[in-house]
Structure 1
Amino acid sequence: MSKQTYKVCFCFRRRFRLAAAEAPEDIKALFNEYSENGVMGLDQLQRFLVEVQKEENATLEDAQAAVDSLHEFNIFHRKGLNIENFFKYLFGDVNPPLNPKLGVHHDMTAPLSHYFIFTGHNSYLTGNQLSSDCSDVPIIRALQRGVRVIELDIWPNSRKDNVNVLHGRTLTTPVELIKCLRSIKEHAFSASEYPVVITLEDHLTPDLQAKVAEMITQTFGDMLFSPGSDCLREFPSPESLKKKIIISTKPPKEYLEAKEVKLRESESKKGKDSGDDEAWGIEVTFKAKNDDEKDDDLDEREGDNNDEDDCKLHQNEAPEYKRLIAIHAGKGKGSISDWLRVDPDKVRRLSLSEQELEKAVNNHGKDIVRFTQRNILRVYPKGTRVNSSNYNPLVGWMHGAQMVAFNMQGYGRSLWLMHGMFRANGSCGYVKKPEFLLKAGPRNEVFDPKVKFPVLTTLRVTVYMGEGWHYDFRHTHFDTYSPPDFYTKVGIAGVPVDTIMKKTKVLEDNWIPNWDETFEFPLTVPELAMLRIEVHEYDMSEKDDFAGQTCLPVSELRKGIRAVPLHSRKGEKYESVKLLMRFEFV
């Protein structure tokens, strides 16, 4: 019998056991300092809250509430906390980096111009700027997140007998205006009771304007804020406008063209036949096209006009429509200096594209700050951002711009900063501007973002550890055969001199990385600073994988050791992923 040889191959898949999260050495040392015989009692926990967490008014009841939050560890309630319970408390949802008890705590009785306002751009788009659907769904999502300014581009429908919302001169599919209005009414105050502003980019004829006026009046009724005069001398406060809807727009350019057409048509009737009338029609069309070409890409005019007195031009509109407009928009004739003139008798809204703002801040930075002390400045993305990306919002905020308009349906670092800014003040959508942006000096001097100021404080950040990826991600998401190699990036977004990013070392093969690294960030303008946090998984051969992010307003950071939840690229909070960090101001 012949001998046969068989070759057997064995394939082994590396498996890694997940270690339990263990308190870092610094946390163990603090526990030992504030405990006795391995137990931290209520008195000791209260002292820890006061001395380490800097909760100066913490009481024994607060300490008891911390213990009670660990309901699954009832056995320890009578004595206190052991190290495991103490660690779970610090890393728990009851210990966030922003104080949920603060709620709305800024002064809300100042004029609207004194606030940064959570502002959307093309709020009806579900995706890109060229071919996505128009819908009320992104409007609803924005309102549920706390957005307070909704933009609607309104156009005649194909039969010219009704009004649609769509991105003009693109392939975006329309949605009926009435559907958007009804959704705004239903969801306007689901996340915040402070006013919602609807900015209309208007491309309608007078009869359709009258139709819009009827829609808005019937939809919102008593919710609608009517100023009672053509132009406001000063904006009302958010407090006085709770649960109110505010309309902001300008007379569309089409009215001015229509008026010019009528004048020239009347002249042509004196001695011209119908053939000449047809030629005149061609000339009007050509003129309109050339005017459009002067504007930014994709019709990003944001409703402003080039007429000196916006209030006078409203006489061309349907009177019912005119009475709805509470915040008048308009640039005025001339250069940027003319646009930024401050009228002591009325206030208005000015819109600038991101490019216009970037040019303006070079030579008119202080003029912009002065303008925004009484008036509202809206900044919007350039038309070439067809993928619904965004720009750096700090440029606008540094100069007092209230409405830094963003594509909320996109994602990216700029949008993360926007989310971070409006986590402040109870996430109500209105953040009071720092006093230095609101006041002028004895010689009418105002804040100049170009000036380098002295360091006012230094934020010290310790990144202890992270956990939760093992629960929120597939086990092969980062690496097929080994645990991930995480590192954390932490830094400041703010005025240019404060802006910086640093990162921890890479910890290999660990679902629960323990970095225990400290960074310091000197801040010259802490009021405009936001703490940026990102976690990535190092990949030697490809782009590093994203593993979570968040952005937090430095002015509202809670001192002490805090559990920082991370969010996805789109800003959605993960169920389990968080970092344990410490914040100190030195």
Structure 2
Amino acid sequence: MICGRKARPAAEQPRSPSDGSGGPRRPGRALKKMGLTEDEDIQRMLRGSLLRKIKSRGGPRERLFCLQEDGVTVCFEGRFGRARSQQSFSVMHIEGVREGHQSEGLRKYGAAFPERHCFTLVFKGKRKNLDLAARGEEDARHWVQGLTKLMGRLQAMSQPEKLDHWIHAVLQRADRNKDNKMSFREVKSMLRMINIYMDDVYAYKLFKECDHSGDERLEGREVEEFCRRLLRRPELEELFGHYSGEDRVLSAEELRDFLRDQGEDASLRQARAVIRAYELNEKARQQDLMMLDGFMMYLLSAAGDILNQEHTKVHQDMSQPLCHYFISSSHNTYLTRNQIGGTSSTEAYVRALMAGCRCVELDCWEGSDGEPVVYHGHTLTSKILFRDVIESIRDYAFKQSPYPVILSLENHCGLEQQATMARHMKDILGDMLLTQPLEGQDPHNLPSPEQLKGKVLVKGKKLPEPWHEHQGVTSLLDPEEEEEEEEEEEEEKLQERNSRRAKDASQVAPELSAMVVYCQAVPFPGLAHALRHPRPCEMSSFSERKARKLIKEAGPALVQYNAQQLSRVYPLGLKMNSSNYNPQEMWNAGCQLVALNFQTPGYEMDLNAGRFLGNGCCGYVLKPPCLRSPPGEGTRRLALHIRVITAQQLPKLNREKGSSIVDPFVRVEIHGVPADCSKQQTHHKLNNGFNPRWDETLSFQLQVPELALVRFVVEDYDSTSCNDFVGQFTLPLASMREGYRHIHLLSKDGASLSPATLFVHIRCKSL
């Protein structure tokens, strides 16, 4: 995070426009580079505004919010009282700004404030929303518009611009007396901030070389020169020299050779196009030449990213039946924390859907006033109205992806409130809700994601046809409920409660039954029976334990079963902390809906994000041929060689605690079929999170590359305790590009750690 942690002296505290402070604070260099120094919204944000934080507990609290001169950090603190605790957040961590009462928090607790005074900041990762109310409509508008502009500018920055912006933000933090000059003491402070240990003698030598005025202060161009020297990339200079030769200039022909070695389009025409797009020097560009700066710009751009940029959009065949796709699926979607005492929230559905999730779970229970509620039954989790959940799904189902959303209903309601559920879905979702088989489609076969674009499907129990009331119901328990019953009986021997729940859930309302079309939840009939009598529109759910047992005992048969109908896997119901299981083993067996607790960060969610990265994050990924039509053809075996070269600008851990500089190492993990699962790591580098260099090659052999995910992890080595996580990035091997590539690291909860990167060389060879 870029924000400053140290509170300013009282005399320097930014003041609210309402307190007669007069003109704006001087914008920093970063805002000048963004072209926002004269912007009215930014000026107001720099001066600061009194905003109320709307929270469920303790009532609204007024705080002074100020944008800092770096154009990225917003600081806020208590306006009154003796103690002033300063907090901050980065604009780079904001995912969106919602105006008015457009969050669960403001709808519940913001009624006392006019809607036009209110707005919500939605953060990336797991940080909670920040619900705010300004003193007036004008102030709210300035903040909404200003933050939106800053987010747009930051998103549009190239990686070199982000690096430049980052270093100048650090400089501003290190410039303690705010005189726009850097003493050697301030330079040393800056080096610690950016996670690099530099010998005092070497640091002072570099300082003196840049101090052309000789006054023991760096300012203006001297500071720029110092930053340029810090940001040098010797490994890129060496690579450039290898292809450019002694003249240190790349011709179009030499660049073509580099592109060929990268596995790119190696035509002269493409090389000239790259020069026109990335070369900074006008004269060189006119002569089809590329200088070092242009070459670095190219390698740090999306064109030099390890992720195939064609895979950032939907590029797979979306016309095959649903059972031929992995489908991003959430378990206990309503929870924001653990399943025992966590908070239930409609915002959890919004976050899951915006993360590309296409199957969300609703645990539905009897509520007061005839209104069904969603929560984790028999626990202390809070309750939310079923109606409010459906409204959130309506509003966000198709903002991230146009492909169908499946509502997995775990139904514990009586007939009357089931009918209410059906009515709410019909009234709120309208035409989005699929209630009939598609016209012209065989009603017994599954349609494709393409055919179901913009549609919401209900997964639930269905009455036999034709249905008459006098017919007894043998068991209409949700398969998931049945398996949870079995587990609880095994684990806790709560037979009495189980039988009572089974009795209560043994009927289904005709209105709700009618909404189940392609995802009829049924008890698992056994593999032998299912393979003899396939029913594509029926689906069964398995606990992770049951799924593992099936994989172990009849893996090939389970693959065949999953080639013709859908199955859902979910975590064991007894995990108090909502931990996850490794989804890879379930994908290996062709299971489509491998449901995870999206609210629980960890390597399992990294794998889930990586799995669905390769098709535009649309929530549907086509399974490889060997899982769609088993036994299928033999796969192409590969040798994978990853040379881990360097890292850049790794974040400092626990910065507020004044922790030491990291000792980073890189681990590369392969997640795939059991024969392919392995991991290797580099040695650690002492005291350097700024530009550590390893130059170590890690090699792997892969039997089924189509299913493999590659996870790059950076950790801080500790000889006496567990290593600390620094950052990671996970992607499908099929979406990984060969050659020299940059990897943009993500935090534990999936947010960007920009400008932190790894620089690697990738080589694949058929065996």
Secondary structure at the aligned position of 2:670 is classed as strand
The one-letter code sitting in structure 1 at the alignment partner of 2:513 is K
**Aligned residue in 1 for 2:623:** 433
**Aligned residue in 2 for 1:555:** 734
Q: 1:296 & 1:164 partners in 2: Cα distance?
A: 27
Query: What does residue range 408-427 of structure 1 map to in structure 2 within 5 Å?
Result: 408-427=598-617
The one-letter code sitting in structure 2 at the alignment partner of 1:546 is F
Deviates more, 1:400-409 or 1:40-49: 40-49
Secondary structure at the aligned position of 2:517 is classed as strand
Q: CA shift at 1:473, angstroms?
A: 3.5
**Aligned residue in 2 for 1:6:** none
Identity of aligned residues (%): 31
**Aligned residue in 1 for 2:703:** 524
Match of 1:243 among 440, 451, 454: 454
* 2:708 paired with 1:497: no
The one-letter code sitting in structure 2 at the alignment partner of 1:343 is H
Q: CA shift at 1:484, angstroms?
A: 2.1
Query: What does residue range 386-425 of structure 1 map to in structure 2 within 5 Å?
Result: 386-425=576-615
Match of 1:153 among 363, 369, 373: 363
Match of 1:37 among 238, 247, 251: 247
* 2:465 paired with 1:465: no
Q: 1:322 & 1:54 partners in 2: Cα distance?
A: 53
Secondary structure at the aligned position of 2:680 is classed as strand
**Aligned residue in 2 for 1:176:** 385
Query: What does residue range 2-151 of structure 1 map to in structure 2 within 5 Å?
Result: 16-17=197-198, 20-25=230-235, 28-29=238-239, 31-34=241-244, 37-49=247-259, 51-56=260-265, 60=269, 63-65=272-274, 68-69=277-278, 77-79=285-287, 80-102=289-311, 103-151=313-361
**Aligned residue in 1 for 2:481:** none
Secondary structure at the aligned position of 1:132 is classed as coil
Q: CA shift at 1:70, angstroms?
A: 6.2
Query: What does residue range 333-412 of structure 1 map to in structure 2 within 5 Å?
Result: 336-337=526-527, 340-341=530-531, 343-344=533-534, 346-412=536-602
Q: Residues 522 and 538 of structure 2 are in contact (CA less than 8 Å); yes or no, is this contact kept in structure 1?
A: no
Q: CA shift at 1:96, angstroms?
A: 1.5
Tell me: CA distance 1:338–1:298, structure 2 relative to 1, closer, same or farther (3 Å): farther
Q: 1:524 & 1:107 partners in 2: Cα distance?
A: 24
Q: Residues 113 and 372 of structure 1 are in contact (CA less than 8 Å); yes or no, is this contact kept in structure 2?
A: yes
**Aligned residue in 2 for 1:220:** 429
* 2:687 paired with 1:509: yes
Secondary structure at the aligned position of 1:396 is classed as helix
The one-letter code sitting in structure 2 at the alignment partner of 1:414 is E
Q: CA shift at 1:34, angstroms?
A: 4.2
Q: Residues 306 and 332 of structure 1 are in contact (CA less than 8 Å); yes or no, is this contact kept in structure 2?
A: no
Query: What does residue range 283-298 of structure 1 map to in structure 2 within 5 Å?
Result: 293-294=488-489
1:437-490 per-position Cα deviation (integer Å, ceiling 9, x unaligned): 11145xxxx79xxxxx88711111111111122xx4469579745x32111001
Secondary structure at the aligned position of 1:142 is classed as helix
* 2:755 paired with 1:579: no
The one-letter code sitting in structure 2 at the alignment partner of 1:131 is G
Secondary structure at the aligned position of 2:338 is classed as coil
Q: Residues 559 and 630 of structure 2 are in contact (CA less than 8 Å); yes or no, is this contact kept in structure 1?
A: no
Q: Residues 24 and 514 of structure 1 are in contact (CA less than 8 Å); yes or no, is this contact kept in structure 2?
A: no
**Aligned residue in 2 for 1:271:** none
* 2:664 paired with 1:486: yes
The one-letter code sitting in structure 1 at the alignment partner of 2:402 is E
Q: 1:48 & 1:142 partners in 2: Cα distance?
A: 41
Structure 1: 5+ residue stretches without partners: 1-11, 264-288, 300-304, 308-312, 448-452
Secondary structure at the aligned position of 1:324 is classed as coil
Tell me: CA distance 1:387–1:504, structure 2 relative to 1, closer, same or farther (3 Å): same
* 2:368 paired with 1:190: no
Q: Residues 129 and 172 of structure 1 are in contact (CA less than 8 Å); yes or no, is this contact kept in structure 2?
A: yes
Q: CA shift at 1:530, angstroms?
A: 0.7
**Aligned residue in 2 for 1:282:** none
Tell me: CA distance 1:562–1:188, structure 2 relative to 1, closer, same or farther (3 Å): same
Match of 2:746 among 559, 562, 567: 567
* 2:510 paired with 1:319: yes
Secondary structure at the aligned position of 2:545 is classed as helix
**Aligned residue in 2 for 1:234:** 445
**Aligned residue in 1 for 2:409:** 200
Tell me: CA distance 1:478–1:110, structure 2 relative to 1, closer, same or farther (3 Å): farther
Structure 2: 5+ residue stretches without partners: 1-187, 204-228, 475-483, 495-500
Q: Residues 255 and 271 of structure 2 are in contact (CA less than 8 Å); yes or no, is this contact kept in structure 1?
A: no
Q: Return the structure number with greater relative CO, CA threshold 8 A, min gap 6.
A: 1
Q: 1:238 & 1:109 partners in 2: Cα distance?
A: 6
Q: Residues 314 and 616 of structure 2 are in contact (CA less than 8 Å); yes or no, is this contact kept in structure 1?
A: yes
Q: 2:642 & 2:317 partners in 1: Cα distance?
A: 29
Tell me: CA distance 1:496–1:293, structure 2 relative to 1, closer, same or farther (3 Å): closer
Tell me: CA distance 1:24–1:349, structure 2 relative to 1, closer, same or farther (3 Å): farther
Q: 1:171 & 1:127 partners in 2: Cα distance?
A: 12
Alignment RMSD (CA, Å): 3.5
Q: 2:622 & 2:546 partners in 1: Cα distance?
A: 25
Tell me: CA distance 1:296–1:45, structure 2 relative to 1, closer, same or farther (3 Å): farther
Number of residue pairs the alignment of both structures matches: 519
**Aligned residue in 2 for 1:210:** 419
Q: CA shift at 1:250, angstroms?
A: 1.5
* 2:726 paired with 1:543: no
1:53-106 per-position Cα deviation (integer Å, ceiling 9, x unaligned): 2113666356535653466x6675445332344234313444221122342111
Q: 1:360 & 1:417 partners in 2: Cα distance?
A: 22
Query: What does residue range 248-263 of structure 1 map to in structure 2 within 5 Å?
Result: 248-250=459-461
Q: 1:374 & 1:504 partners in 2: Cα distance?
A: 43
Secondary structure at the aligned position of 1:570 is classed as coil
Q: 2:397 & 2:314 partners in 1: Cα distance?
A: 17
The one-letter code sitting in structure 2 at the alignment partner of 1:508 is L
Tell me: CA distance 1:364–1:517, structure 2 relative to 1, closer, same or farther (3 Å): same
Q: Residues 422 and 429 of structure 1 are in contact (CA less than 8 Å); yes or no, is this contact kept in structure 2?
A: yes
The one-letter code sitting in structure 1 at the alignment partner of 2:295 is F
The one-letter code sitting in structure 2 at the alignment partner of 1:124 is Y
Tell me: CA distance 1:101–1:261, structure 2 relative to 1, closer, same or farther (3 Å): closer
Q: 2:486 & 2:586 partners in 1: Cα distance?
A: 27
Question: Normalised by the size of structure 1, how large is the TM-score?
Answer: 0.80
Tell me: CA distance 1:417–1:576, structure 2 relative to 1, closer, same or farther (3 Å): same
Question: Normalised by the size of structure 2, how large is the TM-score?
Answer: 0.62
The one-letter code sitting in structure 1 at the alignment partner of 2:554 is H
Deviates more, 1:78-87 or 1:137-146: 78-87
Q: 1:422 & 1:296 partners in 2: Cα distance?
A: 34
Q: 1:157 & 1:296 partners in 2: Cα distance?
A: 29
